[in-house]
Every structure is written in structure tokens, then in C-alpha cells.
Structure 1
Amino acid sequence: MASPRHWGAPAVAVVLVVAAALTANAGVDAHSSCINPLEYTWSNACRRGGVNGNIKWCSGPCPRDPVRKNYHIQTYRRGQWFPFDYYRNNHSGGFMRLSLVPMKHRFSHKAHDRNAFLWTCWDVGLRDCPRRTPHDCGTDRKGKRYRQWVRMPNVFPDGDYMLGYAWYGGGWRQGDYWSCARIRIRGGKLDKWHQPAFKTSGSRGGRCYSSS
């Protein structure tokens, strides 16, 4: 990834392996959104495409629902490692993408595409929910959610940004999901370039499983 003054992103090849066992999750709630940092709006199911679902459709890359009242903007330093938590809701499979864009470009697909800095398998970092409440755990029947540790890129100047979360290939015929959290960057070394990465767990051989 180039700096905000030199946008650009390399092509990333993603291999999805069809795992038949993962299609057996009939009757699950096919949606996900970010928990920590928290989704900026009251949406928990911004979906594009898919069929036979009861989740509303939205065009992404960020929901356009009303903003949460008294929303707490979390602050991070450039280069800081931070936990990124998101709902499991009885699902496995697919991969996710994280992007970071200035607030004024939060509804621009092109901006999120240019500023994507991490791709990774979606079902990585399974952990117990701190509390089995809708806020902390969604509707997961096993009381689980996901957490991945993410390093904040060094190329973004101080300011407020939208952290974009996209989940692809995870819900059976359920389309793609989007979620966004407003964050603030303050301090840390400022570099001109950042190399986007695609990461999987060590046992996956560079592949992510698909439930589709």
C-alpha cells in the first residue's frame, strides 16, 4: 500500500477450499459485524448479494444506518498491535479484509479497495465471549466470537478514519458482509509505504475454507 499521497494496492490471490462439513450449519444467523472497535452505526448485518436471508440488503462498504449515540472513538498509534473482535454467530469459513479510509471517503468502494491493508481467513482466533449477551456474543449458540491481532499501518497521518471490515464467502448463499468502526490515529512513526498482507493460520497451508 502506498501512503495516502500515493494510493495503490497489489493484487492478492486468495484460494478458497470448499469444506462440505461447513455447509451443515442450517438455521444459523448469517451475519457478522465488528465488536471491538465497535460498529459505528446501529447496523449488525450490512449485506450485499445472497438469497433466502432475512437480513436487509445494503451496498457497503459501510452501513448507512443511524450513528450510535455517545459513540466512543478508540485511539491507536501507528504501528500499534490491537485486538479486532467480531461476531461469529454460528459460522465458519470465508476470508475477511480490513481497510482504513478518511471519514469523507467511508462510502467509497474504490477508497476501501485502495486502502485495504490486510486479508486473512475469517474463522481465526476463536474465543469465548466475555458475556453471553447480544452485545458481546450476538446469537452464537456456543458463546464464541473471533479475535485477531492487527497491526495499525504506519502510513496514515494523525486524524479520524473509518476502519472497514468485509467478510467474503462465509455465509451459505448469503452474500458479502460489511461493517465499519470509526477510529482515531495519534502518534507513532510515519512511513511513506506499507505492504498489504494476506495471512492464514499455520495449519491452513495458505488457504481459507469456504462454507459456500
Structure 2
Amino acid sequence: MAADTLDVGGLCSRPPPRLSLWQPPRSREAASGCGAVRPDTTPLGRRTRSSHVATPATAGCMAASSPPPSLRQRRRRLLATVASSTAAAAATAGLVFVALSALAPTPSIAHTFLTVPQSMSHIEGCRIGGSPGYVVSCPGPCPAHTKAMLRDPPTTTTIRRGGVLNLRYSRNNHEGGFARYSLVPADRAMDGHFHTRAAFLYTCWDTGAFKCRNPRERWRDCKYDDDQVAYKRRLRIPRVYPDGLYVLGFAWWGGLDKGKGFNAALGDYYDCSYVRIQGGPRMQRFHQPTFDASGEPGGKPGTCRSSVSMLGMCWREPCFQHHGGNMKPAVFSGGRRPDPIAAWWMNPPHILPRSLSELPDPAAASHLRPFAAITPDEAARLYGITLLEMHPVTGAVLARRAHVNWRVPVRVRRGRAVTIVADVGGDVRWVRWFVNGPLERRTGSWPYAIGGVGPRAQPVPWKAAIWGRPFSLKVRVTGMRGLTIVRQWRRVRFVRW
């Protein structure tokens, strides 16, 4: 940010230019041989200290450019008025900023993300929503999303079965909430239901704090934290995973703003890393997920400080409707615990049995709907659709537009192709696209684009896109067990410009 740029409440604006209340006519400058820029004068024509000796020529210029007494008095009065108005405006802006900052979550670039092992994506802070100016559309369970392009080639950490994985993640001026760790086959990275069933450890998020000491740690782990603090943990990999490539899922929910108690507005956050399991002790048939509340800095024994007890209660940020406390994750409350993780789940085709044990308790979900009506299909969610402007030949994404007003003509630059992707999360089996009634495409893999998906999970341009005339667009999302979500836009129109 430039030195003369002001930042008030995240809005950057440059100060108004200095007013020149009187300037000599250009004809007089030309007649007297004076230049337009003088190094020894200010923009208001005031004489500054200079080592130059005045010559007859420069003295004539100074005499010619000296304003009359009446204009000098007007200039002093106007400068005093401008100074008082600027001070009053700055004070008002400061009060407004303080009031808004008390209500909104801290407008950091990112609230939490994995730093070790390296994330599978370049995004920092995978969530839905956010403060104005920091809005993100990343529904999880991993940040492989239209706004979170995958690293190419991906970085993979190799570890033995039953070994210990050293993990670090950023704090970024927050505290509280729960962390969940899951390990799923790489081809199930975006399957939210599989992450839920394969979650092997739940912990309090703000445990294992450490101070960043060297430049590498300060840049990698603490670059957004005011106190230069981050978190680390040692994860024991369960012995139910055969050799192969997996995705380590990291989820954080119920987070609190530092120093603001249990009132928070933070949503659900996700991150993932590639992990290769190779060798190790003999495999086990089952592994029982556990909840570890040790190391919680301020909660009651066996609980964590959190605003909510489960993922999905604050799926969009900001989320002001909950007041938290000391609690357990919903899957461990009331004496319950999740089903064991079975080793045969990890063998192709990676089919999970039906189970209801991971459902939240009735008290935690009472604000959603009656407990008896909740099914695992509710993990399938449709947040909206995103327009991608693409290169017509290479398919490279040139622009991503997540908040399009589809009721007015959508302008697209000439020479660009388009496609539309569904922003979905959780337990998704199929996404069907309908254009003017008939089925346009059915896709079962991320990123669920209307134009199709390439061999490397990249969106493909929509070759049958309609230009210049309106058409109806409908998207139908189906969960693994039949729950269907439908949204429709009746008049969509693409125009070139």
C-alpha cells in the first residue's frame, strides 16, 4: 500500500489533492521565462529553504508569481476550514469503524489453514461468506473449489501406517472451537459424507500453541497473527489404512474472536493435504474415533470453548445467532460416539454402509428441524452457482464470478467462453443441469460444471451456451440416498461486450 493511502475499515482511499488557491497565468510564466515546476517552491507557491541564490531572472519570476494580499487571506481562511472538516470526518470514520468491528469477525485475509503438511490448494481460509471485502465461496470439505485452484503438481507427505504426522495450522488472532481430522481415499476428497465417517480424531482447536521464532515460521505459520502464535499437533495415523494415496481433511468450527467471549460470527473452515501411506505395522480391522480435550487453555475438563457443537450450524459467515459455552462435539455429546472406521471402506470402490450414529443430538439441531427428520443426506447442500469465463481453446479460467445477478443480462468479454459450476458441499451423488426444460448434462464429480469435467478435474467450456437470447436454467443436486435440492433461474441471458 502506498504511503499516502488511507485504510479505514478495510476501505482504501487516497487523500484529496492539495488545493492550489491561486496560480499565475501561463502567459505570464512564458513571458517571464519561468518554468511550470519549481523545485524550490511548494504547490501553494510558498518559498522553501534553498541553497540557490536568487538571480535577477528568478527574482522576476518570484515577483510575477506572488499572489496579491487579498488572495493570501482567502487562502489562509480556506485552509483552516479544510483542516477542521478533515479532522471531524476522520473522527466520525473512526467511530463508525470501531462500532462495526465490534459486530463483525476480524477481517483477516484468512482465519485458519494448514501450514504443515502443505495444503492441497493455494487458498487461505476456505469458508462460505465472510466480512465485506473478504467474501469467499468455498463449501468444503476440501478447498478444491473454483476459487481455490489445486497446486500442480500437488505436494504429498509420505508416512507409515500407525506413524506420527507433525501438523501445524495458523491461529490468526482467534481462539476456541473444535478441530476434526479425517483421512479419506484421494478420489473421495470432495465427499463430505466420507470425511464425516472417516473422522478419526476430534480436538479443541486452540491447543498446542507455540511462538514463531525464526523467519520461516513467522512467514509460514504466523504471517497474519498479531502475537506471532500458531498451533501444532502430533497425529497418530490409524492402522486401518492400506498403502495408497489419501487426503487428510482438517475442519474447524465454533471459532471465537480473541477477547470477545462466546459471542462469535465465524463460520465453518476447511483445509486438506495429500498424504501417502507406505508400509508400517500390520493393519487393524477397525479404529474407534476419539475426542481429545487435553490442553484446552480456558474450558472445563473434557470440553472445549465453542460457539456451536457441529459443522453446518454456522455454514455461512457471519453467523450471529448462537451463543456458545463449554461443550463437546455433537457426535460425542450425551454419551454417544461415532461408529468405528472399517479398513474395508478404503478398498475400491470405497462404499460406505448406512449408519445414523454420526447424527447430532436433538438439542444441538433443534434450530434446524425435528431430530427424527434429519438424515445423512442433509450433508448435500447447494449454495449457488458460479460463472467462469474461460479461454475458448486452452480452457484456462480467466475470471470467476460467484455473485452474479442472473435477473439482468450477464456481460461476458468478447472472445471468451463460459461455463457454470454448482457450489455444492457434502454428500453429493449427482448434479443435473437443465436448459429450457430438457436435461443438458449430468455429472457426478467435482467441479460439477455444466460444460463437463476434464480428465484432471478441470471445468470444460460450455460449447452449447446460448448467446443473445434468454433461456431458463435449473440445477438439481441429489444426495447419496435420494434427497434432492432444486434451484431455477427463469431468464438467463449472456451478452458480449
Please say if residues 180 and 201 of structure 2, whose CA atoms lie closer than 8 Å, have aligned partners that are also in contact: yes
- 2:118 partner letter: L
Please say if residues 33 and 86 of structure 1, whose CA atoms lie closer than 8 Å, have aligned partners that are also in contact: yes
Distance 1:210 1:75, change over 3 A: same
Structure 2 unaligned blocks of 5 or more = 1-101, 257-263, 308-322, 324-497
Match of 2:140 among 60, 79, 96: 60
Aligned residues: 190
- 1:177 partner letter: Y
CA RMSD of aligned residues (A): 2.3
Deviations 1:174-206 (A, max 9, x none): 210000001100111211110110001156411
- 2:121 partner letter: T
Once structures 1 and 2 are overlaid, which stretch shifts more, 134-143 or 119-128? 134-143
Deviations 1:11-56 (A, max 9, x none): xxxxxxxxxxxx9996352611111111111011111366667141
Match of 1:177 among 253, 269, 274: 269
Question: Given the alignment of the two structures, is residue 135 of structure 1 paired with residue 220 of structure 2, yes or no?
Answer: yes
Please state how far the C-alpha of 1:67 moved relative to its aligned partner. Answer: 1.8
Distance 1:152 1:98, change over 3 A: same
Partner of 1:106: 189
The alignment's TM-score, normalised by the length of structure 2, stands at: 0.36
Partner of 1:15: none
- 1:176 partner letter: D
Distance 1:124 1:207, change over 3 A: same
Deviations 1:104-137 (A, max 9, x none): 1100111101100000000000001243544332
Please say if residues 97 and 165 of structure 1, whose CA atoms lie closer than 8 Å, have aligned partners that are also in contact: yes
Partner of 2:168: 85
Please say if residues 100 and 161 of structure 1, whose CA atoms lie closer than 8 Å, have aligned partners that are also in contact: yes
Q: Secondary structure at the match of 2:175?
A: coil
Question: Given the alignment of the two structures, is residue 27 of structure 1 paired with residue 119 of structure 2, yes or no?
Answer: no
Partner of 1:197: 290
The alignment's TM-score, normalised by the length of structure 1, stands at: 0.81
Match of 1:207 among 296, 303, 321: 303
Distance 1:76 1:55, change over 3 A: farther
Please say if residues 25 and 91 of structure 1, whose CA atoms lie closer than 8 Å, have aligned partners that are also in contact: no
Partner of 2:124: 44
Which structure is richer in relative contact order (CA contacts within 8 A, separation 6 or more)?
1
Q: How does 1:153-164 map to 2 (within 5 A)?
A: 153-164=238-249
Deviations 1:140-189 (A, max 9, x none): 01111000111001001001100000001004212100000011001112
Name the larger-Rg structure.
2
Counterparts of 1:195 and 1:146, CA distance in 2: 25
Partner of 2:233: 148
Partner of 2:315: none
Counterparts of 2:178 and 2:238, CA distance in 1: 20
Question: Given the alignment of the two structures, is residue 74 of structure 1 paired with residue 189 of structure 2, yes or no?
Answer: no
Structure 1 unaligned blocks of 5 or more = 1-22
Q: Secondary structure at the match of 1:111?
A: helix
Counterparts of 1:159 and 1:104, CA distance in 2: 11
Please say if residues 48 and 57 of structure 1, whose CA atoms lie closer than 8 Å, have aligned partners that are also in contact: yes
Counterparts of 2:218 and 2:150, CA distance in 1: 21
Please say if residues 157 and 276 of structure 2, whose CA atoms lie closer than 8 Å, have aligned partners that are also in contact: yes
Counterparts of 1:95 and 1:37, CA distance in 2: 19
Q: Secondary structure at the match of 1:63?
A: coil
Counterparts of 2:231 and 2:248, CA distance in 1: 17
Please state how far the C-alpha of 1:66 moved relative to its aligned partner. Answer: 1.6
Please say if residues 62 and 164 of structure 1, whose CA atoms lie closer than 8 Å, have aligned partners that are also in contact: yes
Counterparts of 2:199 and 2:164, CA distance in 1: 17
Partner of 1:124: 207
Deviations 1:35-86 (A, max 9, x none): 1111111011111366667141211000122222444311111111222100
Please say if residues 207 and 295 of structure 2, whose CA atoms lie closer than 8 Å, have aligned partners that are also in contact: no
Q: Secondary structure at the match of 1:112?
A: helix
Please say if residues 37 and 74 of structure 1, whose CA atoms lie closer than 8 Å, have aligned partners that are also in contact: yes
Please say if residues 39 and 180 of structure 1, whose CA atoms lie closer than 8 Å, have aligned partners that are also in contact: yes
Distance 1:142 1:156, change over 3 A: same
